[in-house]
């Protein structure tokens, strides 16, 4: 884990953003690339539509999610040469868009913008205690 300022410095200095099966962080990776003007490649897997109520209601499948991300970012769709979730949303260099907000899941216990919340740590402690007690 890194603090906000370190995370921002990493995003500002990186060459590209790559997210392979990043779950809830997929759209945030695209948003960070837009915000900081970075090339990106993301391979979406799960949509988690219920965690992101601000997305269009039609975005329920992985294919719809890929199309949505490509349209949002002015990106193209490519395919990796293997079976399964192999659709890649890709965009090259573009100017930074400081107006872009990085998308966060509705559930605050999820990882948000690269920083785990206290609530997430508390949930992990409870689950660890429960598992230890059951063993």
Q: Alpha helix locations (H) across 37-61?
A: none
What does the pLDDT look like over 74-85, one tens digit per residue? Answer: 999 999 999 889
Q: CA 97: distance to chain centroid?
A: 17
CA distance 53 to 134: 36
Instruction: Find, among 84, 82, 33, 87, the residue nearest to 65 by Cα.
Output: 87
Read off the pLDDT of residues 53-107 as tens digits, 9 standing for 90 and up.
889 989 999 999 999 999 999 999 999 999 889 999 999 989 999 889 888 776 6
User: In percent, how much of the chain has pLDDT > 90?
Assistant: 45
d(CA 48, CA 56): 13
Q: What is the pTM of this model?
A: 0.75
């Amino acid at each position: 884990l890194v603090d906000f300022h370190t995370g921002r410095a990493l995003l500002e200095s990186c060459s590209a953003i790559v997210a392979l099966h990043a779950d809830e962080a997929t759209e945030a990776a695209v948003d960070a690339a837009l915000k900081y003007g970075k090339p990106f490649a993301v391979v979406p897997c799960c949509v988690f539509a219920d965690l992101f109520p601000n997305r269009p209601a039609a975005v329920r499948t992985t294919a719809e999610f890929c199309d949505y991300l490509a349209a949002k970012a002015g990106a193209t769709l490519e395919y990796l040469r293997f079976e399964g979730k192999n659709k890649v949303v890709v965009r090259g260099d573009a100017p930074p868009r400081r107006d872009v907000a990085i998308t966060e899941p509705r559930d605050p216990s999820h990882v948000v913008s690269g920083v785990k919340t206290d609530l997430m740590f508390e949930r992990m402690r409870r689950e660890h205690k429960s598992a230890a007690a059951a063993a």
